[in-house]
Structure 1
Amino acid sequence: MSTFTKVLLATDLSPQADKLTECLFCLCPDTETEVVLAHVFDDDDDADPDGSSFKKARSRLDGYKNDIEQAGYEEISIVTPAGEPCETLSRLAEENDADLMLVASHRKGFLKRALMGSTTYELARATMIPLLINKDEEDEVTENLLDTVLIPTDFSRKSLEALNVIRSLREYVGKVLFVHVVEHSRNKHDYKEKYGSAKMFLQELVDEMKIFGIEADYRIAHGVASKKIAAICERDNVSLIMMTKTGADMTNGDDLGSTSENVVLNSDCAVMLLPAEDSDEEDTFS
C-alpha cells in the first residue's frame, strides 16, 4: 500500500502541469487514493463561475478528472479558489488533510534567480507535507519517476525519511541510488577515514534494500554536495531525487545556501522534498 492516501494535485493548467497525472499514477498506484485537483485563480473575477476564464479552467480540470477516473481512481474532487497561490495551496493541503502535494516547475524560468519568488519555489520553502516537483518540459517524454531514485544521506535519521516511501512502493521502484558527499576533510587521511565509514554505512543501506527485493547501489563524492548530486543524477540517469527538507534555511527563506534548496533549484530531474521529523537537527550536508 502507498504511503500517500490523499493527494493535492496543484495545476496552473500549463503543458508542464499536464504531466502531473503520470506522477500521480507512479507515486500513488493504489486507486483508493483520494485526489484533490486544485487550480488557484489570481483574482475573484477569474473565479466567477459565469466568466470565460472559469469555464475554460473548469473544462481543463474536468479533463484531468476524466483521465484519472479512467485509470481507476474514484475519489476525485475539484477546487478552484482565488488568492495568492502558495498561501492558498498550503491552506488547501491542510484543510483537505493531504499527505502529498504535486506541482510542476517551469524549469527554464525556475532556475533564474529573478524568479525565485515563483509559486513552486515558495512551496518548496513553506509546505509542511511531502512535495513532488516535476520538471519535465512540454517536449520531453515522461519517464517512470521510480526508475532510478537517488537518496542523498548524511546518515542522520531524518536524511533517511525517504526509506519509508521506498519501502511502501518497493513493487514499483526500479533502483535506489544512495549518495553521500564528503564536503569537508582536513587532509587525505581524514578523507580516507570518512570515506571508509561512509562505504560501510552505505553498504548496509544497499543490503537492506535488497532484502526488500529492490536493486540498489551507492556513490561517494567529495566536494559541494548539491553540485555532486546534480552530476551523479546526470551520469546515472536519475529519474527522481527523494530527500528530506532540512535546516532552518528552507523554511524561513533567510538564506539560499542549503543543499536542499540548491538541489531543488539546479537539478534537471524531479525532486520530492520530505519534511523532517526533527527540525532542530542539523543538516550535515549544508
Structure 2
Amino acid sequence: MKLQISNLSKTYSNGVKALDNLNLEIGAGMFGLLGPNGAGKSSLMRTIATLQKPDSGNITFDGINVLDDQIALRKVLGYLPQEFGVYPSMSAEQLLDYFARLKGISSAKDRKAIIKEVLEVTNLYDVRTKNVSGYSGGMKQRFGIAQLLLNNPKLIIVDEPTAGLDPAERSRFLNVLREIGTNHTVIFSTHIVADVKEICTEVAVLNGGKILMHNTPTEAVKTLENQIWTKIITREELENYEKEFNVISSNYNQDNTLNIRVFSNEQPNETFIKTAPQLEDVYFVALKNDL
C-alpha cells in the first residue's frame, strides 16, 4: 500500500506556483507533512484527494492511477479538510447513519455495527445522542474522523486538524490518529512540529511547492548532531546575532531574555553551548536553507 507522487506541478490562475515538480513516496503508517502557511500543503492534499487537477505529473496509490481513475481512489479515500462545513441539528448516530447510506452501506445491521465501531474509536460513543452542531471544536474534528472511517478507507488525509484546538482536545485528537494510523496510510498535514513529533513515523518538510526534507523523525534529528548551539542573549542583541550567525529560532525566557538556537558545523564562538538537536531544528534548518 504505497502512494507515489511523481513530477507534480500546479500553478493557479493568479500566477502562484503551489506545486513545483514535486516527488514523494508514502507508505503505510502515519506520515507528517510539515510546512508554513502557503507552503503548498493544502494544494497537495486537494490534488491527492482528486478535488483539483494538477498541470502535470502522476499520482498512484495501491495500483490506482489517481488522476485517470478518480472514482476508484475516492472509494478507498477518507479526507478531512481544514474546514469541513456546518452540521445540521442531528445526533452523531443519526448523521453517521446518513453518511453510511451515502457510502453505500445498505444493511441497517451493518450500519449499526460500523457506526458503533467508529464512535468508539473516536471516543464519541458516550455523546452519540447529542447534536453534532453542539460539539466542541475537538469533538467535531473527531466526528470528522468517524465519518471518514465508515467505508474503512486505505488512504486517509487530514489537513491542519489540530489548528484552534485547546491542549486537551488536541491530545485526544492525536490519540485517535495514532490508533487509526497503525492500519491505514495517513497523511497528516500541519505547521505544528510538535504534532508530527508525537505520532508520525515519517516526516517531510514542504515549502514553495517542493519537498525540502524526507526522513524518519529520529534519523532527521540525527543529521543535526553536533551542529546545534544555544546562547542566552538580550532582545536588543538579536538583530546583530542574526546578522553574524545562522540563527534558526529563538524563544523568550521568563526574564525576557532570549534563548537562541544556531545551526553551525562548529562552535560559533566560546560563548555558545552545544545542545541536542530537536525535530523543530530540522524543520527550521530546512526552511532556512531554502531561502
**TM surpasses 0.5:** no
Structure with the largest fraction of strand: 2
Work out which of the two has the higher radius of gyration on C-alpha atoms and give 1 or 2. 2
Q: Provide TM-score, normalisation by structure 2.
A: 0.32
Greater relative contact order (CA < 8 Å, ≥ 6 in sequence): 2
Q: Provide TM-score, normalisation by structure 1.
A: 0.33
